[in-house]
Structure 1
């Protein structure tokens, strides 16, 4: 007899972006491991990004239950739809360039909607699921955040029912980079920490996506903490013809604070020093890009080399990964981002294209890239090393030998990672 597990998630197809991929893939493979997943999602969510192509990946036999949700983004959009959409996508303007309206929206979001703007879904969800779990004889639930308000659903259900609760943190809670941008009062900050503490100390099992987050949470709870990273899945995209030009591509959102000026400086200097490089080079940005990034590229005279592709479907994103000469992964230069392992890293790793990653010292990304031999990682002060690496990749491109040769990648397959989850269950 299969074990039934209820999964509470906000992001689900047609939602786009990385947040939807993790549990969509777990759900795909859990039935092979004698686990029957049942997914609970909002009926009328406000997804900032949609990708209709992901709907085809939902298993036909999957049970999905829905309940309405009330979200403030729709009301806020009456005042400024552009700013509201931008903030909901995670693109927050640098502090010194924020308008009064944007500052107000961030203050309201941070201090009146704790832990986040989906908090109103907690109470009706608990009322509905309490009866549903009893009726269906389900004794195990999983909540996944962000939004971390979903963990409060698990917290309340755990208090009311004899169930096993696993809390999955795709990102940390109070130490995530954007948390400091929410203009929190001391009272609001303390409330976040108290809620986080309650979740960490009440859940039967904590799941995190990085070693750094595991170490952080070990200082906050004695509950068991397992690391199950994101990963890559088999996909229908065939091998692509490589770009004719020396393309350096970033796939995914580029937020204002995720601005790798050291990379722009290196590229500007290589263009100035090497006419052949200048003729061959192109920069492809695939995904939402903040205005601050575009202005910075203009400052470094890179606009003429830029193809600003914009958001594309997940399938199209994989095509760009496979045909680009070099793939770039960028993280904010802050100790708070050492734990962030973007989901696209794992798809980058199996694309057979070399990776250039920039981020803080001590990052989990640096460890994974080194262990898998899929590219090179640089800190924001590594100008000379970064420049030399791009020159080396360019030389290999001219010779037609530019490629990565990954090792030990299979443990990051979605099927292998789902087996790790099933073992916890």
Structure 2
């Protein structure tokens, strides 16, 4: 039997970290041995995670080798001065009139003093440690995955010192093209430094991975040898009990995950308000369910509207429980940043949504990659942030089907997005570099 090759994966997010950032390489690590690759994880000993999900520890493969070293982060110190730093850690920002003076100052410091991010202090110690580790353990390929994008600087440093090293830079989100980049209040010098570092990674990595088709294309334009391997789903055997509120069956629209101000679908809330005002049956039957962390400003605005009696806010749940809540829904909501540069963002939860067979309603720029996937799989409908009447008509048609007992289940073939199929695609790329 042919001996497995070794791939060392440098990742900040690892169980018990919660949220979508941990899922990608947790699942790749699960399936890589089936394709002739032995994964080894390198991760911080003492990270500062925005979300924790202890149940994910059970999903870590039993024989997986995990190497840890200490990290120093400024977040704990910063959180003493500003509550908003907890949001930054989770990728959330106060915007516009919601920004306090302390919030503005924190954003300025974050963007200009911690380049590319506040985990930068782990870079030099990791290069020093891994330089020796890679040699002693005969590692065939190094993978760095970001955000935090500072982890790519570990790969860049090692690549410059170990010329024969094969290195893959995995971008779960873009760096300078991500929507909140323009909200970092960067000086021209800081902006230049961010872009120079990003370009250096694109030019020096043997392979750059993107999670969307548009991102891969944009990375190639900027000098990267880029390929797209999307996120996906692990089919879970979950029951599908009915969604209940006060003993009554409800037509349920659910949002699962983190919802921040920059991705707030205000036109959806308006459409739902209109439906509740004009259709008493819909108002009585409808439930708006939130699972995860919803920005307080968004939640308070909805609670001050006619929708206040339709809301069920469950807060952050363990991953398996979140999947159950997806199953206990009729329509699943996904949102993206409204600007053109965000077309390539495909949130990881889209694929878990697909696996439920439920209909999906999506918001973002026109011709987004999410729209391409929804059209391809016939799993739902995508809207931009200017539409309202079209949204009302779509939701009303689904509600009427639900009311009459007509199935609104999606039977699309989505096997190409299974974690095992995606790991097979990844292994083929690993074999080629």
Calculate the TM-score normalised by the size of structure 1.
Answer: 0.97
* Contact 1:373–1:407 under 8 Å retained in 2: yes
Equivalent in the alignment of 2:284? 279
Deviation by residue 1:71-100 (Cα, 9 ceiling, x = unmatched):
0101112223x3221221222111322111
Match of 1:16 in 2: 18
Whole-Å Cα distance in 2 between the matches of residues 357 and 193 of structure 1? 30
Contact 1:122/1:150 (<8 A) preserved: yes
Alignment counterpart, residue 176 of structure 1, candidates 166, 175, 178: 178
Aligned position for 1:67: 69
Specify the SS of the correspondent of 2:14.
coil
Q: How does 1:18-57 map to 2 (within 5 A)?
A: 18-57=20-59
| Conservation of the 8 A alpha-carbon contact between 1:4 and 1:37 | yes
Q: Could you say what the CA RMSD is over the residues aligned between the two structures, in angstroms?
A: 1.2
CA distance in 1 between counterparts of 2:308 and 2:188 reads 42
Distance 1:242 1:93 in 2: 33
Deviation at 1:22, TM superposition (A): 0.1
Question: Are the aligned partners of 1:232 and 1:347 in contact in 2 as well (CA < 8 Å)?
Answer: yes
Aligned equivalents of 2:268 and 2:304: distance in 1? Answer: 13
Residue 398 of structure 2: which of 383, 393, 399 is its match?
393
Task: Report if aligned partners of 1:349, 1:406 keep a CA contact under 8 Å in 2.
Answer: no
After TM superposition, give the deviation of residue 234 of structure 1 in Å. 2.4
TM-score by length of 2: 0.96
Shift of 1:392: 0.3
Secondary structure class of the residue paired with 1:252: strand
One of 78, 81, 88 as aligned partner of 1:79: 81
Residues 235 and 355 of structure 2 are in contact (CA less than 8 Å); yes or no, is this contact kept in structure 1?
no
- Aligned positions of 1:411-422 closer than 5 A: 411-422=416-427
Q: Which 10-residue stretch deviates more, 134-143 or 23-32?
A: 134-143
Quick check: 1:375–1:404 contact (8 Å CA) kept in 2? no
Alpha carbons 2:276, 2:307 under 8 Å: kept? no
Unpaired runs of 5+ in structure 2?
Answer: none
Aligned to 1:138: 139
3-state DSSP of counterpart to 1:108: helix
What CA distance in whole angstroms lies between the structure 1 residues aligned with 2:151 and 2:67?
15
Residue correspondences, number: 423
On the 8 A contact 2:31/2:420 being kept in 1, the answer is yes
- Paired residues of 1:40 and 1:65 also in contact (CA < 8 A): yes
Describe how 1:335-350 pairs up with structure 2 within 5 A: 335-350=340-355
Q: Find the residue that maps to 2:362 and give its secondary structure.
A: strand
2:228 equivalent in structure 1: 227
**Shift in Å at residue 4 of structure 1?**
0.5
Return 330-339 or 411-420, whichever deviates more. Answer: 330-339
Q: Which SS does the other structure have where 2:227 is aligned?
A: strand
CA distance in 2, matches of 1:38, 1:22: 15
Distance 2:411 2:96 in 1: 40
Greater shift after overlay, 7-16 or 71-80? 71-80
* Equivalent of 1:58 in 38, 46, 60: 60
Asked whether 1:209 is paired with 2:211, we answer: yes
Which runs of 5 or more structure 1 residues have no equivalent in the other structure? none
Instruction: Decide whether aligned partners of structure 1 residues 198 and 24 sit closer, same or farther in structure 2, where only a CA change above 3 A counts.
Output: same
| Aligned match for 2:298, one of 293, 302, 320 | 293
Offset, 1:295: 3.0
Of 258, 265, 278 in structure 1, the residue corresponding to residue 270 of structure 2 is 265
Asked if 1:157 corresponds to 2:165, the answer is: no
| Structure 1 residue 299 displacement after superposition | 4.7
